Amino acid sequence: MRKFELIAPCHFGLESVLKREITDLGYDVSQVEDGRLTFLGDEEAVCRANVFLRSAERILIKVGSFRAETYEELFQGTKALPLEEYIPINGKFWVTKAASVKSKLFSPSDIQSVMKKAMVERLKEIYKVSWFDEDGEIFPFRVFLMKDEVTVALDTTGESLHKRGYRKLTAKAPIAENLAASLIMLTPWKKDRILVDPFCGSGTFLIEAAMMAADIAPGMNREFTAQQWQHLIRAGEWQDAVDEAREMITPDVDTDIQGYDIDEKMVVIARENARLAGVESMIHFQKRGIQELSHSKKYGFIITNPPYGERLEDKKNLPALYQTIGERYRVLDSWSMYLITAYDKAQESMGLKAAKNRKIYNGMMKTYFYQFPGPKPPRRKIAETDM
């Protein structure tokens, strides 16, 4: 079976989460960089990574790398790549995205144009043709330039892996599904612990948590670009990965997951998204404002993405809102709270000092993941009947 060098991009600051996921899948991570990891795998790995990874953005097959400080070097370096090993004579191919950091070549459109021309010249020579109809399967490439080192990769995923397929309706500023999953995995929350999101919006945190609790693979109900590349990955590999995912599901798991939102419309949206994800029976949604946040049980978790003033007129309300968050959290004896926000005065307004404050880039926006871990619950005594 053919071996590939695979690249998995992720959110900046969450590389450790993705590394643990890849390792748990049984693959060796060969390189960790800002916002992406490289690991080795075969055809099966391409399918399983797309189906099972919760924190990755996409899975790329590395085609090659070279150094380029001029467009001529970029052209010749691209032309030297073994593109015919991936693209058939009727394949439709292009550079869908170019990113450049600390490199002499920095114009994405120029990089894309030069590389496309080089790809065409290479394949014209290989296939002995003067024109490509490009009426076959699609082959989107992505290129990264870091300090003049060019990495060229083929995108097996298509739409980003955060598109699980369940979120048909969203809030104004929804958190991406893979970011929500990553943040949950940064916490010690387990499926036997209470989880509340008092700003649930479209329900992303809670749905991702419920999917984890029921062992529902995030990519098992969607399609991927590479499913059409049967000259590279046989169709049976995809089916095997989905069958593996289906066998792992435990739908009758007992959970206590609750979502509140002050907007009744968002509660309706969250319920529908949970239904589409197949976890509606695992989550209780309710119209409730943050000032009403309370719970009779101990050792619960709050994991949430409260408003942080996307519009200027909303910013004036942030100090009072975060003050209320702090007040309600202090009432919850022994609870833990994990909160992501772009509001840089969150701790000051809440009157709380986080045990950890991790900077995470959500796209180009710098956010803060404030962590307030509570005490661990006492260990359950083993009864004689359990022995």
Which tens digit of pLDDT belongs to each residue from 4-51? 999 999 999 999 999 999 999 999 999 999 999 999 999 999 999 999
pLDDT band at 381 (very low <50, low <70, confident <90, very high): low
φ/ψ region of 265 (left if φ > 0, alpha if ψ in -120 to 50, else beta) reads alpha
How much is the pLDDT for 361?
84
In percent, the amount of the chain with pLDDT more than 70 equals: 95
Which residue do the tokens 């590349």 mark?
229
Does residue 195 or residue 133 have the better pLDDT? 195
How much is the pLDDT for 171?
63
How much is the pLDDT for 382?
52
Mean pLDDT of the chain: 94
Distance between CA atoms of 11 and 35, rounded to whole angstroms?
A: 6
Q: What is the mean pLDDT of residues 65-71?
A: 98
pLDDT at 172 over 80: no
Q: How many Cβ atoms are within 10 Å of 288's Cβ, its own excluded?
A: 17
Contact 112, 98 (CB under 8 A): yes
Q: What is the mean pLDDT of residues 328-339?
A: 96
Q: What is the mean pLDDT of residues 108-128?
A: 97
Q: What is the mean pLDDT of residues 119-143?
A: 95
Asked which of 96-110, 114-128, 300-314, 333-347 is least confident by mean pLDDT, the reply is 300-314
pLDDT at 199 over 90: yes
Distance between CA atoms of 199 and 322, rounded to whole angstroms?
A: 12
Q: What is the mean pLDDT of residues 266-280?
A: 95
pLDDT band at 153 (very low <50, low <70, confident <90, very high): very high
Contact 338, 183 (CB under 8 A): yes
Distance between CA atoms of 253 and 214, rounded to whole angstroms?
A: 6
Q: What is the mean pLDDT of residues 71-96?
A: 97
CB proximity list for 72: less than 8 A, separation 6 or greater:
none
pLDDT at 310 over 80: no
How much is the pLDDT for 379?
81
Q: What is the mean pLDDT of residues 299-327?
A: 87
Contact 54, 14 (CB under 8 A): no
Q: What is the mean pLDDT of residues 337-345?
A: 95
Distance between CA atoms of 117 and 19, rounded to whole angstroms?
A: 36
Q: What is the mean pLDDT of residues 378-383?
A: 67
Distance between CA atoms of 241 and 212, rounded to whole angstroms?
A: 17
Distance between CA atoms of 22 and 221, rounded to whole angstroms?
A: 20
In percent, the amount of the chain with pLDDT more than 90 equals: 87
Distance between CA atoms of 361 and 178, rounded to whole angstroms?
A: 13
How much is the pLDDT for 387?
44
Q: What is the mean pLDDT of residues 103-110?
A: 97
pLDDT at 311 over 60: no
The pTM score is: 0.94
How much is the pLDDT for 65?
98
How much is the pLDDT for 315?
79
